[in-house]
Every structure is written in structure tokens, then in C-alpha cells.
Amino acid sequence: MPLKQETMQRKMFVGKAASPGYAIAKTKLIVRQRFTISQLKIPKENTANQIEFFRRGIWQVKKEISNLRDLTLQMAGKEESKIFDSHLMILQDPSLIDSVISLIRNEQWNAGYAFHLYMQNLIDGFEKKDGIFKDRALDLKDIYNRMLLHLNSGENNFVLQEEIKEGVILTGFSIGPNMLMHFDKEKVLGLAIDSGSTTSHVSILARSMQIPAVMGLGNLSESINAGELLILDGTNGIVIINPDENDISKYKKQIEVFQNQKLELSTMRDLEPITMDGKYIRLNANIERYEEASEITSFGATGVGLYRSEFLYFGRDTLPTRSEQAEAYRNVTHQLEPLPVTIRTLDAGGDKMLSSMNMETESNPFMGWRSIRLCLDRKDIFKEQLKALIEAGDRGNLKIMFPMISSVSEIERAKDIYNDCCTELKAEGFHIPKIELGAMIEIPAAVLIIEEIAKRVDFLSIGTNDLIQFTLAVDRSNGKIAYMYEPHHPAVLRSIKLIVDAAHKEGIPVSVCGEMASDPLSTLLLVGLGVDEFSMVSWCIMECKKIIRSINYDEARAISSEAIKFSDANSINDFLRKKYSQKIKRLGISSFIITQDFSSSDRALIRVDGHIERVGV
Amino acid sequence: MISCKLTVQNTLGIHVRPAGYIVNIASIAKSSVELVYSDQRVNAKSILNLMMLVIEPGSEVEFLINGPDEQKVADELTELFNNKFYEDAS
């Protein structure tokens, strides 16, 4: 989505940081969705077929958009997802449906052309208007594009104008892995794509090809002209069209740092994540789809610390079967054997609605019927998943993590159900492997009874995103209070300390997953608080390893225990900067100097869009 | 039939989201709901029709509501307009 129009032309967009790195280059607009629309007069007897074809198109696009809404809700929040409700309403619009059907029935146009005629007329109408109404044309175009992908299925939608001669940044509505491979790898300096996410196939491919990429930029390709200069920041998910001098010089420096660092980091991959005085800190990767498992070792991950199983449940009308789930989980556990793989049980509900279940809209979804609460109520769903997990644990090193634990009884009930599943599977003739069970700590109540919880599990994992949100009562997707979302608030840090101490008293490890794990200064702080493991997006791992290998564990312990004595976050940050800034500067960490340099209004936009502002030195 | 005249009080006019709210009310109503604006009369159950009218902030629109729940629909629309489509949080 367009976030800002500063001067005449400079425009900043924020999307999903899908593949790290930077590029400054001219754009090559590959697909602003160019369709060749066939225009056919159809025989009277075939009109019913075409009407049916049109209705099926509507149905499919509605499904796509609901999925997108589910994902946006989860990734960005309710406000951002509302636009998709409007899109759904447009697709159900009686005047649209009736007009297109009448064009097919009475004028005997094929479905694609009938839809094109109706929509083009509408879009032209809006484009003539001013201001906010003109922007509406973009919403309609989005729907138009999606529909025609279905109504024109089988035809080639992409028109490549010419071959690439110099290095460019590819921009467009969408790009498939095949298309990316079509281009000369040396000439593609980056990808800035309207659709997609960090786990799209093309993102995984871009990371393996080391091409920086930002996905999910909304309508970037509508706002850009071929050949315009672009800055692409795949590390932070930022794209600037027509950057000013200041942007360019800032990013030129950044590219230099990044290039040097890349050389250095590639030597880092096979080194152990161990501090100078010998403390081993496990650095795991977060994944959402089993396809990602194959790439994590190339980033030097020591395992998977958080596999978000709910992605198996999203975007479909039926629940995934036990065998389907077992296969997906096995793909990870077997492939990564003997590395540990922690799979989180279904963390859905509330704001992450599943279309396969009839879920009610709640007035306070974050505190609603979600996650482990939903699973304990819907034992049928929970047991299917646990059995699939147990089956997938036949090889490798699987651990199961229960999210949103707020009481001892929840953990006991979850374990009872797990044991029931083991008994039932045994009766079916399965061998039951040894699987560790852990609790995810993200609710302040759990922190206050952490000693009792720690006695009942094999490991603890801190979900910092929710723990911060619940501890501080701050919804960070709310722009007015996003500044209050402060990971280094002493209340948060002291909670983490309580969790670590309780775990270590029971002799079990603690990991941190959540965005806090990939911020360098936070990493130092958390290592010093005694956190044993981190789990983060895979491409942050090598930087983190570099930091860990440069510090002294005992010293970090001393600094952190000093830090959490301060009474507010600002003092803590000042203290940390004083202690660590020299070190971080010396290490030349490329990912986090940059956001500090933006104007405060740019930074606010970046933060509102779900990115954390890095603390900076 | 009820005629209900309302003023658009939000700062952006009837763009996608406000139009969506109107459709939400109109489409579950048992009554027919039509909107009249600058000599055009459209079915208020169609979001595209409403958007095409490009209703600017400050303008007055008229709803023609006809059916068993017409009073209820008129009340809901009045509330929606008076609340500026829940947009301009003060």
C-alpha cells in the first residue's frame, strides 16, 4: 500500500522483507497484469455454460480473497484486512452479477469479455474522478485482474516486452518461480512484487539465489513507470520510488557494508554459535511451510524453533486430515534429522479465523477463543493433529509446543490428551517415539506461575510478540499507541528473567521466538538474561551468530542484570547503547543501522506496518 | 414508504468503506432500499452503484425505503450517518 508521498515523486512503500540485501537500479515492469482478452460471440446454447463459468470465477476469487483476508488479519491486523471485506462485497454485488450475466445471455459475449466490458467501463469512470475516488479504480483493478486470471485460464497472461540489457529491479503484480528463472540471473538485481509473502515459492527461490526481494507491496506496480529509479531494501521490506539524494547516499553505504558482510557471513555458516567463553546458544529458524525446511541449513540454522502449523489449516474449506498433516510434518522432521524441530500446535482462532470452521466474530479476539483454548474444546481437531505429530516423530528430533498457556490445568489437560493419543496409536500398532512437550509463555499470568508450569514441561518458549502486547496492554497495529510497544520495557525484561530462572531451576531450556529474537541489541540483552535458544527468520541467523561469537557470556550476564534494574525503557536502551554500540559498529551489522536514519514520520509508517523499529546505535 | 434525508458528515465522502456499511444494512433489510443523489436513483444493496455516485463530503442524500422493516432500516442508516461512518475518530 502507498504510505507516503513526500515530495513530488518520492514514494515510499513498505512490504514484507522476503530476501535480504539492497539494490539501487531502474525498474523493469514485467507484469502490470497484461491480459490478452479473447472476444468471442458464443452460440445461444452455450450461454448457460459461460454463465456457470463466470459464477465459478466469482466463487474462486471470493475464496482467494477470503484467504488473503485471513492471512492479512494474522500478519497485519484487523484494519488492514477490512479492505478485503469491501472486495468481497463488490464480488457479490447484485448489479455486477446481473449486468455481466445479461451481457453473456443477451449479447452472447464469452464470460471473460463480458466481465471485461462491465469492469472497464466502471474503472474508466473512476479514473476520471478526483482524489480518493480515483484510488478506488485500483481496488476494482485488483478484482478485475484476479477475475481475468480465472476467466482467461490457460492463456498466457504475460507479455515480455524486451530482453533485459542492464541490471534491473523486477516489479510487477505477481511473479512465479518459472518467470524468475526465465531471466538472466546476473541482470536481476532485485524483486519488488505487489502480491506474495515471505513464504511464497518465489521468495524462497530469491533467497537461495541471493536476490533481494520485497513482497506484498500492494499496488506498487500501479504507481511506478517503467525505467524509474528504485531503491529496494529486502532486509527491512522497504521500497522507495524516485529516491532523493539523501536516500541514495544512505543506501550506497548500506550496500557496501552488506557486500563486505556477505563475504564474511558465508564463512560464518558452518561455525558454531558459541560465545568467546564457550557458551553454546542454539539459533533456530521459524518456518511456516514445510517447503522452507530445505533452506534453513544453508543459513546456518541449528534446527527449527517454531514451525507454525496453522498454515496447514488456512485457506481451505476443510480441515487437513491426519495423514495429510503427518506427511507435512514428516517432510520437516525427516529431512532435518538429527536437528531438533519444534512444532507449535494449532494457534488459530480469535483474529486468525479458519474458513474450515464456523467461527464467530469476536469483539475482543486477542483475548478470545483461540489457540490452546480452542484445541482443548475441540478435542477432535486437537487429537488429529497430535496423532499426526506423533506419527511424524518416528524419525528425527521432534518437540511439540502448546501455545497460549495461561494455567497449570491447561498444560495438564493438553498432556492428558497427548497421552490418550499415544495410547490409541499404540493400539493401532504404532511405535511411540519420545517427544518432548513444551509450553509457550506469552501471557503475563503464566509468567507469575512459571515455576509450577516449568515443573510440568520439557522446555519453555517465550513468544515475545504476544508477551509484550499483553504485558503492556498495547496493540501494536494501532498507530496511535504503537510507540508504546516497547520490547525493552523493564516489565517485559523482568518477566523474561523470571521465566529463565524458573526454567533453569528445573533444568530445562528456554527459547525466545518472536521478532525480538532478530534484533541485535535485544539478542545481546536476552543472551545476558540467560536465554538458551533463539528462533527467528532464517536469514537473520548468520548475523546473530556473528554477534554471539563476538561476546563474552559472563560479561553479557553482568550487563543484562544491570540493565533490567533501570525503571524505564529509555534508560535501558541508553545503557545498552553505551555498552554495546562500539561492538556493533565494529561488527558492521547491516540490517539495523538504517531505520534509525529515516525521518521520524517515515519510521512511524514502517512501524505501523508491523515492522519493529530497531533500536539503533 | 419512508423518505429519509441524511447528510454525509465524514471527511472523505462515501468511498468504499462507508458504501460497504450502507450495503451491509440494506442487503439484510427485507425492505427495498434506494438512494437518490443528484437526480440519480440507485439500489443501495449494490456497493458499485453507491461508489459510482461519488458522493462528496457535506452532500445530502435521500433514501427511499419501502417494506416491513422500513423504520428500522431508516434508524440504522441515520445512526450510521450521524456517526460519520465510524471514521473520523475525534
The pLDDT tens digits for B35-65 are: 999 888 999 999 988 988 888 889 999 999 9
Report the pLDDT value the prediction gives residue A165, as an integer from 0 to 100: 74
Q: How far is CA B37 from the centre of its chain?
A: 10
User: CA separation (Å) from A70 to A193, A200, A313, A608, B69?
Assistant: 20, 16, 11, 19, 34
Q: Which three cell numbers stand for residue A554?
A: 559472563
Judged by a CB distance cut-off of 8 A, whether residue B29 touches chain A is no
Quick one: average pLDDT of B13-26? Answer: 88
The CATH code for residues A44-151 is 1.10.274.10
Secondary structure (3-state) at A452: helix
Find the Cα–Cα–Cα–Cα dihedral A143, A144, A150, A156, rounded to 10°.
-130
If we measure between CA atoms, which residue out of A219, A202, A182, A241 comes closest to residue A19? A202
Q: Which helix (H) or strand (E) element contains residue A171?
A: strand A168-172
Interface test with B, best of A78, A93, A134, A147 (most B CBs within 10 A): A93
Report how far residue A213's alpha carbon sits from residue A170's, in angstroms, rounded to the nearest whole number: 9
Q: What are the structural domain ranges in chain A? A: 2-34+159-262, 44-151, 271-588
Q: Do A95 and B49 touch (CB under 8 A)?
A: yes
Instruction: Report whether A378 contacts A354 (CB < 8 A).
Output: no
A133 touching chain B per CB within 8 A:
yes
Q: Return the closest-CA partner of residue A241 out of A7, A13, A514.
A: A13
Burial of residue A277 (number of CB atoms within 10 Å: 0-12, 13-18, 19+): exposed
Report residue A175: phi and psi, to 5°: -145, 135
Q: Convert the pLDDT of each residue in A437-489 to its tens digit.
A: 999 999 999 999 999 999 999 999 999 988 999 999 987 666 677 678 888 99
Mean residue pLDDT of chain A comes to 83
Q: What is the DSSP letter of A292?
A: G
* Cβ atoms within 10 Å of A544's Cβ, excluding its own: 24
Task: State whether B52 and A94 contact (CB < 8 Å).
Answer: no
Please give the class, per CATH, of domain A271-588.
Answer: alpha beta
Is there a contact between A139 and B16 if contact means CB atoms under 8 Å apart? yes
pLDDT of A593: 41
DSSP A317-363: SSPPPHHHHHHHHHHHHHHHTTSEEEEE----BTTB--TTS-----S
Task: Tell me the nearest-neighbour CA distance from A90 into chain B, angstroms.
Answer: 6
What is the per-residue pLDDT for A122?
86
Nearest CA in chain A to B46: A93
Distances (CA, A) of A416 to A376, A381, A386, A419, A437: 11, 15, 11, 5, 12
Interface-testing mutation among A85, A88, A90, with chain B (most B C-beta atoms within 10 A):
A90
The residues facing A536 across adjacent strands are A285
Q: What is the pLDDT of residue A36?
A: 60
Residues of A involved in catalysis: 201, 513
Q: What is the pLDDT of residues A562-588, one digit of tens each?
A: 999 999 998 998 899 888 877 777 776
Domain boundaries, chain B: 2-86
Whether A503 has a pLDDT exceeding 80, the answer reads yes
Predicted confidence (pLDDT) per residue in A98-151, tens digit = 999 999 999 999 898 899 999 988 888 877 776 666 667 767 877 887 788 777
Q: What pLDDT is stored for residue A45 in this prediction? A: 86
Residue A7: what pLDDT?
A: 39
Q: CB-based contact (8 Å) between A85 and chain B?
A: yes
Out of B12, B43, B48, whose CB is closest to A90? Answer: B48
Helix, strand counts (H, E) of chain B: 3, 4
> Which pLDDT score, from 0 to 100, does residue A617 have?
26
| pLDDT of the residue at A130 | 66
Sheet holding A11-14, edge to edge: A2-5, A11-14, A238-241, A229-233, A22-31, A168-172, A188-193, A213-215, A16-19
- Give tens-digit pLDDT for A230-272: 999 998 888 999 998 988 998 898 888 888 877 777 788 889 9
DSSP E strands, A225-281: 229-233, 238-241
Q: Which residue in this structure is represented by grid cell 454525509?
A: B8
Contact status, residue A331 vs residue A290, Cβ threshold 8 Å:
yes
Strands A229-233 and A238-241: antiparallel
CATH superfamily of A2-34+159-262: Phosphohistidine domain (3.50.30.10)
Distance CA A200, CA A147 (A): 21
Please give the ipTM for the structure prediction: 0.83
* Tens digits of residue pLDDT in A7-33: 347 888 888 888 888 999 998 877 655
Interface subset of A 334-363, CB within 8 angstroms of B: none
- Helix (H) / strand (E) element for A70: namely helix A47-75
Q: What are the CA-CA distances from residue A421 to residues A334, A381, A395, B38 (Å)?
A: 21, 12, 18, 67
Strand partners, B40: B37
Listed by number, the residues of chain A in 106-125 with a beta carbon closer than 8 Å to a beta carbon of chain B are 122, 125
The answer, for A86 touching chain B at a CB cutoff of 8 Å, is yes
- pLDDT band (50, 70, 90) for residue A2: very low
Identify the CATH homologous superfamily for domain B2-86.
HPr-like (3.30.1340.10)
Counting residues of chain A whose pLDDT is more than 70, the rounded percentage is 84
Helices (H), A350-449: 371-377, 379-392, 408-427, 444-448
Contacts of B43 in chain A (CB under 8 A): 94-95
Report the alpha-carbon distance of residue B51 to residue A78 in Å, rounded: 23
Contacts of A99 in chain B (CB under 8 A): none
Q: Give the confidence band of A595 by pLDDT, cuts at 50, 70, 90.
A: very low
Q: Counting Cβ atoms within 10 Å, is residue A43 exposed (0-12), middle (13-18) or buried (19+)?
A: exposed
Flag if B13 and A86 touch (Cβ within 8 Å): no
Alpha helix (H) residue ranges in A108-215: 111-127, 131-151, 177-182, 201-208
pLDDT(A86) > 50:
yes
> Does pLDDT of A399 surpass 90?
yes
Q: Do A95 and B20 touch (CB under 8 A)?
A: no
Is B39 an 8 Å CB contact of chain A?
no
Burial A291-314 (b: 16+ CB within 10 A, else e): ebbebbbebbbbbbbbbbbbbbbb
Sheet strand arrangement including B2-7: B2-7, B60-66, B32-37, B40-43
Q: How far is it, in rounded angstroms, from Cα A182 to Cα A172?
A: 15
- Per-residue cell: A188: 536481476
Q: What gap in Å lies between CA A251 and CA A549, rounded to an integer?
A: 27
SS3 A19: strand
Q: Taking chain A, what is the end-to-end CA distance rounded to the nearest angstrom?
A: 29
